[in-house]
Amino acid sequence: MHQQSAIVSGIEVVALCDAIGPMGESLRRPLPETFPGADPHWDRLRREVPEAFGPQGEWVLHFHCFVLRQPQGPTILVDTGIGAEDSPAAFWTPVPGGLLGAMAGIGLTPEEVDVVVLTHLHSDHASGAVLNGEPVFPNARHLVQTDELDWLKGNGGPVLDEVVGPLTPLLDTVTGERTLAPNTAIVPTPGHTPGHQSVVVGDMDLLVAGDVVLHPVQLADPSVTYLYDEDSARAATTRTAILARVRERGGVLAAPHLPEPFVPVPQVWAAHNG
């Protein structure tokens, strides 16, 4: 599958398509229930972004991971996708994921990844880090916010047992911001989950956002919340603030679940907000 890329501050950011499909029926809800308060936008968005909708009007998610490559410095993978057919994401995503095949398509092996940033510990972002009980990226340090790991440990579940457990020797916790390389840093973006984090390239020139933005409707109106946010009010505040910073820089949003993995924020904002 064709991969898209952007070069920002001398860093190549490559979007790797892991999967495309609607939510499984166990989680799928009508769009007005999934994104409360978004009713004024649906008709226009179905015309402007048809790739985000299925034949019955359902939400079609794109699952992207992102690789950051620079002339000197670590090779960074942001998120690891949905994983194998028996992964913790299998009950609601179109498994198996195609991340490893997409990586092979750009000449990158799992052993060449130096750092894995897990934006959060939901199954569709973390499950691809482990296969058959073993880490997929054996030479990489895997970074997660302390608040995120504490939250997951408090809840338990298959991601904790089947992903975090095997990753423990390679897992590092982060508290707050951390510089990964020149012009590359982790920033906390809480709300969707308590310890959600994103990756900034340059001075907000590109934001690998994780689930700060899930659907184009949240670009039309960043205050629109999401049914499966842990703290929807905090998520909306985070989204509004960080999109404003990206917009001020004339920057680009890299979001895993949007049909287009790279979206110029000023362009979208101008189209939808006047």
Average pLDDT, the chain: 94
Contact present, 5 and 11 (Cβ < 8 Å): no
Domain count, the chain: 1
Where on the phi/psi map is residue 98: left (φ > 0), alpha (ψ -120 to 50), or beta?
Answer: alpha
DSSP secondary structure of 77-114: EE---S-STTSTTTTTS-PSP-HHHHHHHTT--GGG--
Q: What does the pLDDT read at residue 270?
A: 43
CA distance 39 to 17: 29
CA angle 108, 114, 116 (to 5 degrees): 95
What CATH number does residue 252 fall under? 3.60.15.10
- Give the rounded distance of the alpha carbon of 122 from its chain centre: 10
- Give the rounded distance of the alpha carbon of 241 from its chain centre: 18
Q: Which residues of the chain have pLDDT under 50?
A: 1-2, 269-274
* Identity of the amino acid at 218: Q
Q: What does the pLDDT read at residue 274?
A: 40
Q: For residue 157, give both structure tokens.
A: 């579940």
Query: Which tens digits make up the pLDDT trace of 139-176?
Result: 999 999 999 999 999 999 999 999 999 999 999 999 99
**Domain span holding position 113:** 4-273
Question: What is the DSSP code (8-state) at residue 91?
Answer: T
